[in-house]
Amino acid sequence: MKEAAQAYTLEMLAVLVRVAMDEGAPPAARVTAANAVLDRGHGKPTTNVDAKVATVDVTKLHLQALLDLSAPAPQPTGAERGAP
């Protein structure tokens, strides 16, 4: 399939260029075609991502969750029970 599609590369590039240059074509079609031509000629623009990557110890978190679940519930104090 890929090889069959690649056989039409030059013709399809010519179509994209014709649409991009056709002043009678809808603006959205012209922009899409122009972007496609530029992407194929120069590659897609790079995107910079500013991200903080943290390592999470899932085993430790799981163990803590199990410990929290197995801990006895706190007993209410006298004031919480409504005692004077």
Give Cα separations from 9 to 15, 19, 21, 22 (angstroms): 10, 15, 18, 20
Instruction: Render pLDDT for 18-54 as a digit per residue (tens, 0 to 9).
Output: 999 999 999 999 999 999 999 989 998 888 988 888 8
pTM of the model as a whole? 0.51
Q: Checking phi first, is residue 25 left (phi over 0); if not, alpha (psi -120 to 50) or beta?
A: beta
CA 58 – CA 46 distance, rounded (Å): 33
Rounded Cα distance between 78 and 83, Å, is: 5
Rounded CA-CA distance 37/17 in Å is 7
At residue 84 the predicted structure's pLDDT band, cuts being 50, 70 and 90, is: low
